[in-house]
Structure 1
């Protein structure tokens, strides 16, 4: 596909591009392109704020879920948060496409948005991992169920959890706890690394906005 065909396709099919052009007066001059770029970057910051609010809502919902064990409400919240993140990602991908449009010609900003998307995906994946681990709890602290026990009388059963405490059993439990702790620490560290990267990328975005506003 030629650059001309690509430009035509984007201008016809992308409602965000039409909206930005309308907002900026539809000019294809350097001033008009700068204005469109500025509007897009400001919208990106708004999207990131939406993501931050969604994470805060998810965190509150998970805390309430752990305390009340309200499975239905938590699943409903997860569906809402997933829809919100999907919408944010969709809008950022549209922005990437617009920055690659020959009229704008800002592949550097398109790459920056792509990098943000990658880190946001990693952050979300690890956030879910943390919640799954915390809900399960450390192996040695998990509540026991008696589904596999043998009941001889209504109030008496042979509990499969009763066993002789041996050094081997203690070591196995300690290893399971250590594996759990390491997985949780790794996920938390991964989220922190993703947040650091995202903040650095957003700082670059703010510098770009400041430069465009100064022109």
Structure 2
């Protein structure tokens, strides 16, 4: 009887230990995905800060403040990328074996890199401005005095020059539109991937909730089974020794 109880107890302990291990891993994965969403929030805040800083730069021309901001944003993005790469590595680890999640994070990283590159390109284009609106550079002027400055910059606008300028403007406009469209495509792709992350989080939360209830239910059933088996075994022992008449049923 004692051996039976010991075997049941050992099996019960092993099952519970395995369930605890599975729950622990699921909980760790859940926490990692939640942390990833926090990192994405940091990225969103950094982009907002960069956009505001660039708008102020375009109005005031404060080059030093803008360069300082760009340096801070670069550090922030690098830190975010570093943490996400560490998460990718963890998901590829045999302890987790979640290649799907590692690939999902990598896909988001790729789009984030593209988004940042295109955002920087947009700012460079806007800083330069349309060719027809750029300030004239007089560095190569042969005239040194203002009153003599009728110079080459005020040449008569010919049809060819006008066409060249129009083509340059069109090329600039197309480049800017294409870059903006690229950012929008990257944002769309990122948001779609983030929905997958949120779906995975919801699934893990549901799984952990079910496992918790199941563990409580199974533990109760195991206790009941052990008690029943114990009573049956005890009855057989007492019957074997001719003592069954001493067994009193439990009060109902």
Q: TM-score, normalised by structure 2?
A: 0.73
**2:84 pairs with 1:92:** yes
**2:38 corresponds to:** 46
**1:62 corresponds to:** 54
| Superimposed CA distance per residue, residues 1-37 of structure 1 (whole angstroms, 9 cap, x where no aligned partner) | xxxxxxxxxxxxxxxxxxxxxxxxxx98211110010
For residues 98 and 62 of structure 1, the distance between their equivalents in structure 2, rounded to whole angstroms, comes to 37
Could you say what secondary structure the match of 1:113 adopts?
helix
**2:174 corresponds to:** 182
**2:70 corresponds to:** 78
**What 5-or-longer segments of structure 1 have no aligned partner?**
1-26
| Superimposed CA distance per residue, residues 133-169 of structure 1 (whole angstroms, 9 cap, x where no aligned partner) | 0111100011112111122546423522122211111
Contact 1:152 1:158 in 2 (8 A): no
**2:205 corresponds to:** 213
**2:120 corresponds to:** 128
**1:19 corresponds to:** none
**2:107 corresponds to:** 115
For residues 197 and 40 of structure 1, the distance between their equivalents in structure 2, rounded to whole angstroms, comes to 21
For residues 87 and 162 of structure 1, the distance between their equivalents in structure 2, rounded to whole angstroms, comes to 51
**1:166 corresponds to:** 158
The structure that is helix-richer by fraction is: 2
Q: TM-score, normalised by structure 1?
A: 0.85
**1:22 corresponds to:** none
| Structural RMSD (CA) | 1.4
Shift in CA distance, 152/87, structure 1 to aligned 2, threshold 3 Å? closer
Q: Which has the larger radius of gyration?
A: 2
**1:104 corresponds to:** 96
Stretches (4+) displaced over 3 A: 152-155
- Ranked by relative contact order (alpha carbons within 8 Å, sequence separation 6 or more), the top structure is 2
Shift in CA distance, 196/70, structure 1 to aligned 2, threshold 3 Å? same
Could you say what secondary structure the match of 1:151 adopts?
coil
**2:185 corresponds to:** 193
Could you say what secondary structure the match of 2:95 adopts?
coil
For residues 164 and 67 of structure 1, the distance between their equivalents in structure 2, rounded to whole angstroms, comes to 32
